[in-house]
């Protein structure tokens, strides 16, 4: 039985390699450089406000965020901010990106699920001090979920699955976030209106998910086309999982174990602070993110230490032009900073 499953995964990998079409999600906003004022911002983003009152409103938002960026960067700290395309959006508008949401329907599916961490290898001091699945070749580039689309939950689910599939096969196979967006509503997800990574795993366990180049991401929810996109040989283009596992809330040592031995984690965090949206690099340490509940789904792809500070490596879905090429470093062993250890799970192939 196990051999048959492995052969099926190998067929999937072969099919992915033979497909020449691009599997990357839509590119996002441009990379902004040396934005001095609102005119620079408009020129580099291509945004146009013909209504003068609207322009003044947007400029006031931009000015407040520019002041925050400059003030934060003037202090000696472990992280840096920069102006990006979100700089003229209200908190409510940016919040549309934060789509980690629990639903009654979804909780009915996951209510009886048992927390699980493999007994072997045992927790020990032999785990590497640093580990990064990007260095192994097991992480796809950061995609962009799109403004006004809270589909982070689908990117989190898919990102974790891609990493575990890579660990199993040795080949990185980009999978379809859009497949989940369009088809997983019955499992408690709501497309661009939010969802939860465990609900995504529930769907994949029952129905599987197809390749990204067969079902590309379009930044909005559409009619489900999984059967159509699977083609004549669905077993060769659909990935299913046997189950998924949860990490006990707050257990960062088990997070480290799973990442170092099995693959990336799909986790929730609080990304509501203005500093998060304008993050450029470094170990993010704004305590503002510890004041509210988790609201955003990400992928934890590794961990490390810099100048005596432990950190997690987070893959976000704001494009490669956000943060450290789409990634962030977040304090580790710091009481679940930003809630990063509160809701973590991973697929079991």
- Which one is catalytic: 84, 189, 207, 296? 296
Please list, in sequence order, all residues whose beta carbon lies within 8 angstroms of the beta carbon of residue 33, skipping any fewer than 6 positions away. Answer: 44
Please list, in sequence order, all residues whose beta carbon lies within 8 angstroms of the beta carbon of residue 240, skipping any fewer than 6 positions away. Answer: 204, 205, 207, 208
Inter-residue contact 154 to 264 (CB < 8 Å): no
267 part of the active site: no
- Which one is catalytic: 152, 224, 289, 338? 152
183 part of the active site: no
The whole-angstrom distance between residue 169's C-alpha and the CA centroid of its chain comes to 22
Determine the Cα–Cα distance for residues 85 and 32; give it in Å rounded to an integer: 8
Determine the Cα–Cα distance for residues 102 and 61; give it in Å rounded to an integer: 30
Determine the Cα–Cα distance for residues 207 and 203; give it in Å rounded to an integer: 6
- Which one is catalytic: 84, 316, 338, 344? 316
115 part of the active site: no
DSSP letters for 252-302: HHHHHHHHHHT--EEEEE---SHHHHTEEEEB---GGGGSS---EEEEEEE
DSSP letters for 47-100: ----SHHHHHHHHHHHHHHHHHHHHHHHS--SEEE---GGGGS-HHHHGGG--B
Residues annotated as part of the active site: 152, 296, 316
């Amino acid at each position: 039985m196990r051999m048959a499953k492995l052969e099926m995964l190998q067929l999937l990998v072969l099919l992915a390699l033979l497909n020449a079409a691009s599997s990357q999600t839509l590119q996002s906003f441009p990379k902004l450089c040396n934005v001095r004022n609102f005119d620079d911002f408009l020129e580099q983003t291509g945004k146009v406000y013909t209504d003068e009152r609207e322009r003044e409103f947007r400029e006031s938002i931009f000015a407040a965020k520019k002041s925050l960026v400059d003030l934060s960067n003037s202090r000696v700290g472990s992280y840096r901010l920069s102006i990006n395309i979100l700089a003229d959006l209200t908190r409510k508008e940016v919040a549309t990106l934060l789509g980690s949401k629990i639903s009654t329907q979804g909780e009915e599916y996951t209510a009886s699920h048992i927390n699980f961490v493999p007994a072997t290898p045992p927790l020990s001091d032999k785990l590497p001090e640093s580990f990064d699945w990007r260095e192994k070749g097991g992480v796809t580039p950061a995609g962009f979920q799109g403004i006004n689309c809270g589909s982070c939950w689908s990117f989190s689910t898919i990102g974790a699955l891609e990493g575990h599939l890579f660990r199993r096969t040795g080949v990185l196979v980009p999978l379809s976030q859009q497949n989940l967006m369009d088809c997983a509503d019955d499992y408690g997800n709501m497309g661009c209106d939010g969802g939860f990574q465990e609900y995504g795993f529930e769907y994949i366990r029952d129905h599987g998910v197809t390749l990204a180049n067969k079902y590309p991401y379009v930044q909005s929810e559409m009619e489900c086309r999984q059967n159509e996109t699977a083609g004549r040989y669905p077993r060769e283009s659909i990935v299913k999982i046997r189950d998924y596992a949860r990490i006990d809330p707050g257990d960062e040592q088990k997070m480290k174990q799973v990442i170092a031995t099995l693959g990336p984690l799909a986790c929730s965090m609080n990304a509501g602070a203005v500093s998060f949206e304008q993050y450029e690099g470094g170990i993010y340490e704004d305590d503002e993110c510890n004041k509210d509940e988790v609201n955003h789904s990400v992928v934890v792809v590794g961990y490390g230490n810099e100048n005596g500070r432990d950190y997690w490596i987070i893959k976000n879905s704001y494009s490669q032009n956000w943060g450290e090429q789409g990634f962030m470093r977040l304090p580790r062993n710091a009481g679940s900073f930003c809630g990063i250890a509160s809701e973590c799970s991973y697929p079991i192939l």
